[in-house]
Chains A and B, each alone.
Chain A
């Protein structure tokens, strides 16, 4: 991964986040990345970030000159921040006293922006939310939601991201504006869905993102990211036909795929049932994906899903397959493929059975006719049971045989006496009598 080129794709606060993540995870690039992180932090006003970056740099390369905390800078910066924050707050209070909606709104916006740049994300979120009461035009609401989305993305508050995007969608827009907005909305929606683990919906969102996105969104995602996320999510959630039509033949997504041609190859391998090659490509790029801040948490799961899907697809045309040939196709040995298969059968995604003696995987013979008969019989049995029980209960009710606690006058001795005379059994053996709840 070429760090320089990579980070050049991004702007704004996300640069720091990505550099920090790479620095923490990559043993190869950590020095370069962390130094970059430190310098990024120093260029901004976020003191907390600076401290974290230096801390990590200290851990990994204590001898680097940058690894020393520049306390002077911290102090001056903190003072500046405090002064500016106070000023803005004071200004806002002033506006509030004047009761001019527009200035209050703008005051909150400025405050929010400032908090955001300083790294006080919860405060920024609150400030932006306060704008809601003072928004008078749809444009205002639109601005507010956009800012909320950006802050929420940084916070990882995906619910807020999704709800605010819905709000933006509900606002009436002029067509050109809508067109401009579209890629942004879909991209951030997709990101939120990916982070929440809804790969199917994420795939849909990313695939619908218009390539005119360009570098509009590079304070969060680059076009490469969209390509990667979209392709991977699609691989995981779609079947061959879907992949073929919506990904490979999609005119809009094709532009994205061209930036990441290896993914296009991987998808076409999958569609052509060349599973080992597909998986090979994915494995090759795995280290890079692990360096991505949004993707690394999901990589293991995504890869596992793709692998399981490949195995299931592989098996579809066969009624019997030797375990050894499967092991070859999926680049592993027989014992581990057998384990994997057992796990998949248990999870219910593979309909087959293993013959350990002949080392085969055999498809489950379906007999729909007897299957239908059996389910009919089961249904009938359940009906019989329920009907019988209910009828019995209603009969008891009709006959006045509900369980009723005895009246207070009758003491237990009398009752038990009555009972024993009827049945000839000793009292207490059967435990007759009410348990008062």
Chain B
């Protein structure tokens, strides 16, 4: 036992050497440890140290990640409910109680992300145990924080899609706790595991072990075990759950983009039901985020577009009524389609729509009037509650929530009072809503500096995106099919006699160059 222990504790060297281990040496040592552990029977790991004490207390998760992992798994397998026992057939790895839970959490929060790449499958097993247990015992909120930490620890950008993302989104939705989801789901997915990469940039191995390359963690593949297999259904489902979270947090713009990406998913020969569900929700959310719900995103495939038009007729009618009809007509329309909204679980969104329509009517007034009394507002839009005091409160809430750039004034023999909440505005019938004259005055005024700031931030984001677009362009143009295609089309154009012309050097003529990066 002691010999085994000393071997396991030998790696990584502690205290850390002044010169980090060369990569080859690092790999060799890790693989040795793995070999040892794979040959160790589980009982030995469960046995503990001579003189009492659990091995889990000996290994430090942040340093001896792999031994700790194997020991932990041994414990889990020892106590886990068998698939027949647990009431969920096919789902294994559910703990019968919470005794191991602190150890699991400790592991998930402190593991060494680089060591774990060599034992991906095991790592994922622990993650799934945590998730399944929490769900099984109806306490999904317990697992949210550990899982979030684990995912971000493995890949701080969380921009490679994994099956763990699905588990995490599920936890958040089941646990009803949405804000913790944001650090993970806010990251745009830029990479999928197992993408056939015809072109992998020649990065030094040193970097690939000790650094985490932002944007595309190429070590996350199904082969490494760090993620389960990924299908379109799972990804669409994940996106739908993300959209749900954003809707729950009322972040309409983020929800709209997520739903739009589902609608625009590439389609081969059939349209997924998930996409149709997403479309219906998208129509409503698009209205709520202030966009044009009549035109689908441009790259939607034709097959999908047909499916949407067929399935979502009622929603299109709703959109029309929103813009062209009065508030009462909208209420009637929503009432009439109540069952439809309920079946699609969109009833809440339709109510939001109504609220938004009321606001829209009042906001529209800004284009025509510079000041008008609250009575007139009520008459013109029929969007205010009848009671003047409540009407006032409603307008104040709109201003506070940054929908209206205006102020309420009290026109009276009294001097005008601004709309602080503490002030009593007497005689509400003389209250006047004054719209600010332009965007640089009024409560929502945006100063030069603020605008400049925003412009700079946006520029940075846009430039980053443009870089990504260029990278994608390079990747796509190096795919085999594109090369064949351009070869064929150039041959068809009869440019055989001018081999050097055109932006790309013809493949046949070019000298074999390892580093194609030179051209670009």
Contact A432 B469, beta carbon cutoff 8 Å: no
Contact A393 B458, beta carbon cutoff 8 Å: no
- Closest residue of chain B to A369, judged by CB? B448
Tell me how many residues of B have a C-beta within 8 Å of chain A. 84
Chain A 287-330: CB-based contact to B (< 8 A → 1; otherwise 0): 00000000000000000000000000000000000000000000
- Closest residue of chain B to A350, judged by CB? B368
Contact A385 B257, beta carbon cutoff 8 Å: yes
State the CA gap A166–B461 with chains docked (Å).
55
Contact B231 A424, beta carbon cutoff 8 Å: no
Give the distance to chain A from B80, nearest Cβ to Cβ, in Å. Answer: 15
State the CA gap A306–B273 with chains docked (Å).
56
Contacts of A367 in B (CB 8 A): 438-440
A355 at the interface (CB under 8 A from B): yes
A425 at the interface (CB under 8 A from B): yes
Tell which of A142-150, A222-230, A266-274, A396-404 binds the partner.
A396-404
B370 at the interface (CB under 8 A from A): yes
Chain B residues close to A by CB (< 8 Å): 88, 90-91, 131-132, 135, 163, 166-167, 170, 188-196, 228-237, 240, 257, 260-261, 264-277, 297-299, 303, 306-307, 366-373, 376, 411, 432, 435, 437-440, 446, 451, 454-455, 458-459, 461-462, 465-466, 468-469, 472, 475-476
A434 at the interface (CB under 8 A from B): yes
Contact A403 B272, beta carbon cutoff 8 Å: yes
Contacts of A383 in B (CB 8 A): 462, 465
Contact A380 B264, beta carbon cutoff 8 Å: no
Give the distance to chain A from B458, nearest Cβ to Cβ, in Å. Answer: 5
Contacts of A377 in B (CB 8 A): 451, 454-455, 458
Contacts of B188 in A (CB 8 A): 388, 392
- Closest residue of chain B to A348, judged by CB? B367
Contact B232 A404, beta carbon cutoff 8 Å: yes
Contact B465 A401, beta carbon cutoff 8 Å: no
- Closest residue of chain A to B273, judged by CB? A431
Check A403/B166 contact, CB under 8 A, given A393-B261, A420-B90.
Answer: no
Contact A353 B274, beta carbon cutoff 8 Å: no
A414 at the interface (CB under 8 A from B): no
Contact A342 B368, beta carbon cutoff 8 Å: yes
Contact A421 B91, beta carbon cutoff 8 Å: yes
Contact B192 A401, beta carbon cutoff 8 Å: yes
Instruction: Give me the 3 closest cross-chain CB pairs, A-B, nearest first.
Output: A399-B192, A405-B270, A434-B270
Chain A 370-389: CB-based contact to B (< 8 A → 1; otherwise 0): 10011011001101111111
Contacts of A5 in B (CB 8 A): none
State the CA gap A417–B89 with chains docked (Å).
10
A408 at the interface (CB under 8 A from B): no
Give the distance to chain B from A374, nearest Cβ to Cβ, in Å. Answer: 7
**Which of B230, B268, B462 interacts with A380 by CB under 8 Å?**
B462
A to B CB contacts below 8 Å, 7 in the list: A353-B370, A376-B455, A393-B299, A395-B190, A401-B192, A422-B163, A432-B272
Contacts of B264 in A (CB 8 A): 389, 392-393
Contact A353 B369, beta carbon cutoff 8 Å: yes
Contact B273 A395, beta carbon cutoff 8 Å: no
A71 at the interface (CB under 8 A from B): no
Give the distance to chain B from A321, nearest Cβ to Cβ, in Å. Answer: 13
**Which of B273, B303, B438, B468 interacts with A365 by CB under 8 Å?**
B438
Contacts of A432 in B (CB 8 A): 233, 237, 272-274
Check A401/B230 contact, CB under 8 A, given A346-B368, A389-B264, A431-B273.
Answer: yes
Most buried by A among B163, B366, B461: B461
Contact B469 A403, beta carbon cutoff 8 Å: no
Give the distance to chain A from B291, nearest Cβ to Cβ, in Å. Answer: 9
Most buried by B among A397, A399, A403, A420: A403
- Closest residue of chain A to B197, judged by CB? A398
Contact A362 B90, beta carbon cutoff 8 Å: no
State the CA gap A374–B405 with chains docked (Å).
15
Contact B472 A370, beta carbon cutoff 8 Å: no
Give the distance to chain B from A234, nearest Cβ to Cβ, in Å. Answer: 31
Contact A387 B373, beta carbon cutoff 8 Å: no
Contact B237 A423, beta carbon cutoff 8 Å: yes
Contact A370 B440, beta carbon cutoff 8 Å: yes
Most buried by A among B232, B273, B438, B475: B232
State the CA gap A394–B471 with chains docked (Å).
12
Contact A437 B476, beta carbon cutoff 8 Å: no
Contact B439 A354, beta carbon cutoff 8 Å: no
Contacts of A353 in B (CB 8 A): 366-370, 435
State the CA gap A151–B507 with chains docked (Å).
69
**Which of B90, B189, B372, B439 interacts with A395 by CB under 8 Å?**
B189
State the CA gap A364–B368 with chains docked (Å).
10
Contacts of A174 in B (CB 8 A): none
Contact B472 A394, beta carbon cutoff 8 Å: yes
Contact B446 A370, beta carbon cutoff 8 Å: yes
A27 at the interface (CB under 8 A from B): no
Contacts of B236 in A (CB 8 A): 403
State the CA gap A430–B190 with chains docked (Å).
24
- Closest residue of chain A to B231, judged by CB? A401
Contacts of A388 in B (CB 8 A): 188, 257, 261, 465
A241 at the interface (CB under 8 A from B): no
Contact B270 A435, beta carbon cutoff 8 Å: yes
Contact A396 B237, beta carbon cutoff 8 Å: no
- Closest residue of chain B to A356, judged by CB? B372
